[in-house]
Structure 1
Amino acid sequence: MYVLLLVVPLCFLVLWLYVKWTGMQNYWTNLGVPQGPVHPIFGSMSFLQKKNPGVWLTELYQQFKPAPYVGIWVFWRRGLVVNCPELSRQILVKDADVFRNRNLASGKSDPMGALNLFTVDDPLWSSLRRRLTLVFTGSKLRGWTTLYQSKVADLVYRIDSDNEKGINIDLRSIFADFSTDIIGESSFGVQCQATRNKTGPLREMTKEFEKYSTWRGLAWSSIFFLPEAVDLFRFSFWPKHTVDYFKKVFKMMVEERGGYERELDGKRDLLDALLKMRQDAKKDNQDMDLDILLSNAMIFLQGGYDTSSTALLYTVYELAYHPEIQQTLYEELAQAKEALGGKEFDAESLATLPYLDAVIKESLRKYPIMGWLDRLALKDYKVNEKLTIPANTVVYVNAIGMHKDSTYFPEPDKFKPERFLPENAQSIVPYTYMPFGEGPRMCIGKRIGQNTVRYGLAAVMLNFELVPRAKYPKPNDIPIEKKGLFYLPGIPLSVEFRRRK
């Protein structure tokens, strides 16, 4: 009797799963949309923890090219991967109101991961974005010139010092030290010396961000693709000990500013903007939880340091294998430095250098740190005359797929900065190149990231010649991280820094 009570429900469950799976297998095909194999539980996502999403999206793009879109199942949720620049513009810009929110989210069990600009939905997202945009004005960035000049001097000192000690410089580590210092001092006003000393309060945090255990990989996979599982398994965006540590650091930073009640204009830096945001909410009789401030401070630290350090890593690595490109870039920088008459570079002078800009853009084309842009349809949406997707369908704009499409970027596996020189830039099809995203939810820190990479790369190139090291892979053979979701190298990388005479 008891066996029967167990077997009957189990049979119904198996039958229900089979019917559900069969419907998933045929759903997109019946709509005339190409789709690949569907796993009965994972849908199209069985690659997770086995392959980086950027690698999977590139393969999906090539498999179904020239289809403008491909149907997938994000576990049991309908998904559409968009491989077309015109549709990308339509979704990200023209009809952005329908796609205000993202699929990724953390849960109630993880307020620190759930309340930041990266993961939160409207209307809180709009409020945060509007207030935090004040941090990244042109005048504010110009005010950080002395900081950048100081940190690139530290970077050159560090490379010289490591060379003297015979250390094989880990590119991710040294550029993470550099970019953490930039974010720490510009956003929080905290004195940081990681570039020189390899450590510091904020650098200890960003080192934790770089660790991807199996558990953290599962947590991020859920946050990005199956948010419903976050509370069930009590996953978190950041490790708990890292959050606890940052709370202590944040409290110290606030106390050094005179506490939460000191009068502020919110225009000094990110910390000021966050404190002012809380004060304004209090004046309006609104309760702004401290977790909102902490969460946004942490996401700016991670997003700012990780993207810039990764861009520098890949760019320097590629240049070591392309001496002719390296020499052209060096000559442009040397001439520009000479024209300044002994002055140091500032953001404006670096921004006017076409080859420097082209080298960085080509690196971001080949190695976009996040190769997709996810949006959630808030209502039924007509994609084109052939297809209407129902509300709650998740849409992935396949940026990395288009970055690596030979139709838009001939010989996409080659590192060719000339694609982005002024005389060639007009030939780039709009919305085929999106390293910072597009539309209202594009990267808020784009300009600070560009400045960080320009300053860091210029300092390296003017002082050192880059040479490949034996036993390291060529650029096209770099294994990509599998447990994490960002497009990061799966192994440490190094090049030789030879002092220029």
Structure 2
Amino acid sequence: MKILSNYDTLQYPISSETTDKHTSVVYLLNILKCIIFNMIYIILCLVACLLTWLCWRWLRVRRYWAERGVPHLPPNPFLGSLTFLQKQNVGVWMRRMSEHFRTPYIGIWLFWRPALVVNCPDIARRVLVKDAASFRNRLVGCGDTDPIGKLNLFTIKDPEWTNLRRRLTSTFTAAKLRILQDFISSKSKELVQRIQREQQSGISLKSLYVDYTTDVIGTSAFGVGCNATLTGTDPLRAVAEGFMTYSPIRGLGSCSVFFFPEMTDFFRFKFFPKSATDYFRKIFKAAATLRDNVASARETRDLLDALLKLRKNESDEGYSEDTIIAQAAIFLFGGFDTTGSLLAFITYELAFHLDVQEKLYKELLGANINNARDDFTSEQLAEMTYLNCVIKEVLRKHTSMGWLDRVATIDYQIDDNLTIKAGTPVYVNTMGMHYNPDYYYDPKKFDPDRFLPENDKDRKPYTFMPFGEGPRACIGQRFGLMTARYAISSVVLNYQLQPFPNAPRPEDVVIDKRGAFYTPGEPICVQFLPRT
């Protein structure tokens, strides 16, 4: 029996210790299963709670304007009212919203943030001028990760904006701009030479005029020698091209800057391309070193002088190099593309309206014959009635920025029926008012006569705002208009403009769907026929 017992033990070596280990493993596995199950249960509960909260929050968001009796279109659960982005230009969307709702204001959502679109000139006057102290800032902005984008005059917030704007305004007075007229006139002559050389190639109007405006701004504002008008290439022109180059990341960043600036820090989006800020940092340092050797009593002649004085002035110690470079970048960004687009649209409209073109040509020719000097002065161009009517009508139809954004700093009473909360973005719909038949008869028609003095005197105030109104109106308005007047007068005096066969009419031109500004989204060209 003893031998059998030993044999059995060898064949079946199951001990109490082995059994205990097996039991422990099973027990631990059961505990682990319980923990996993409980974690899954907790996660599901948290997800359910989150979804419930999101549904509740979404219901509140989507009822926001309905509860206040404000006309609106139903928002998208993810984008709010911004479903048009990358599909339609903002200015075009603003105009269509105004056509859809003939009401003083419209409720929209920037993602889940309620905002108000104003179509009424009386409300616009209060927001932009009368009660501007309650709307000091724009919504557009950048975070701390982008000091150049955050600190420029377009995006900087009060009170820093007020001080900076006051100090830079003197650079754009009529007297200071008069110093630049001979240079701008010479660039307009180079523009005529360029057209003469390339007129048969069907040159893109936008590209042609951006070459010109980049030269004018680069030299007039920063003292940088530029030659893009004649050649189509230049280092500064390459920087300008970088502003216009689209990529999905740039598109997303632009949307964030204009409609959800809080997101810019999280994703580290930049207002300007890095190549642009690097270039401006380089030329600023070089010019600063050169001009620092000039006597401190040097008269402020251009923007760079004004910026350098900000840095030198003892009371301006807070103006960092980044702040100054930010102003250089915004003046190029805000001027070359908008004025280039304006000139492209003027040329294109004139090509399709030969009667208007001929009337303008006769005014320019008559003034040229009676001129006591070879070139027009900036004052003479500013006083030409029909030239300025043409420019204003193009600005009405093709406003570079179709809205003016402000943010309420206090709870503000829009009218007897609506009070908006502090922090609510407000968009004055300039494009909508420019196309409103209540203010402009047959608004899609190109008719410069509507701005003749005898007709313009009855126009309702605050229905024409291509440069904005109030304290935050465009600081470069005079400069931009002078640049445009010299270019278009030189072109019309030297060339008759005609459309190419089968070219789209001005109202049918595709507008850029991806950028913030109202600019041609396809190449537009005209025939330049030399005048005899």
TM-score, normalised with respect to structure 2: 0.91
Q: Does 1:347 align with 2:393?
A: no
After superposition, give the CA deviation of every residue in 1:144-164 in whole Å (9 maximum; x if it has no partner). 12112211111111111113x
| Aligned counterparts of 1:406 and 1:24: Cα–Cα separation in 2 | 33
* Structure 1 residue 262 displacement after superposition: 6.1
Contact 1:264 1:276 in 2 (8 A): no
Match of 2:95 among 55, 58, 63: 58
| Aligned counterparts of 1:368 and 1:15: Cα–Cα separation in 2 | 44
After superposition, give the CA deviation of every residue in 1:372-425 in whole Å (9 maximum; x if it has no partner). 000000010111111111100000000000001111111111110001011111
After superposition, give the CA deviation of every residue in 1:298-329 in whole Å (9 maximum; x if it has no partner). 00011121221111010101111111111110
After superposition, give the CA deviation of every residue in 1:38-80 in whole Å (9 maximum; x if it has no partner). 1122111121122111111111111111x10111111122211
Contact 2:280 2:328 in 1 (8 A): no
Partner amino acid, structure 2, of 1:274? L
Q: Does 1:294 align with 2:325?
A: yes
Aligned counterparts, 1:157-306, within 5 A: 157-163=193-199, 166-258=200-292, 263=296, 267-280=300-313, 283-284=314-315, 286-306=317-337
* Structure 1 residue 463 displacement after superposition: 0.1
* Structure 1 residue 181 displacement after superposition: 1.1
| Aligned counterparts of 2:297 and 2:400: Cα–Cα separation in 1 | 35
Counterpart in the other structure of 1:315: 346
Contact 2:338 2:517 in 1 (8 A): no
Counterpart in the other structure of 1:500: 531
Counterpart in the other structure of 2:178: 142
| Aligned counterparts of 1:321 and 1:419: Cα–Cα separation in 2 | 18
Contact 2:276 2:329 in 1 (8 A): no
Q: How many residues align?
A: 495
After superposition, give the CA deviation of every residue in 1:455-492 in whole Å (9 maximum; x if it has no partner). 10000000001111134321111111111111111111
Contact 2:64 2:114 in 1 (8 A): no
Contact 1:17 1:40 in 2 (8 A): no
Contact 1:70 1:82 in 2 (8 A): yes
After superposition, give the CA deviation of every residue in 1:237-269 in whole Å (9 maximum; x if it has no partner). 11122222332222222233236x962556221
| Aligned counterparts of 2:55 and 2:92: Cα–Cα separation in 1 | 30
SS in 2 for 1:368: coil
Q: Does 1:335 align with 2:372?
A: no
Counterpart in the other structure of 1:103: 139
SS in 2 for 1:465: strand
* Structure 1 residue 176 displacement after superposition: 0.6
Contact 1:214 1:483 in 2 (8 A): no
Aligned counterparts, 1:347-366, within 5 A: 347-366=378-397
* Structure 1 residue 232 displacement after superposition: 1.0
* Structure 1 residue 23 displacement after superposition: 1.1
Partner amino acid, structure 1, of 2:420? I
> How high is the sequence identity, in percent, across the aligned residues?
47
| Aligned counterparts of 1:177 and 1:484: Cα–Cα separation in 2 | 19
TM-score, normalised with respect to structure 1: 0.96
Partner amino acid, structure 2, of 1:257? R
Contact 1:183 1:301 in 2 (8 A): yes
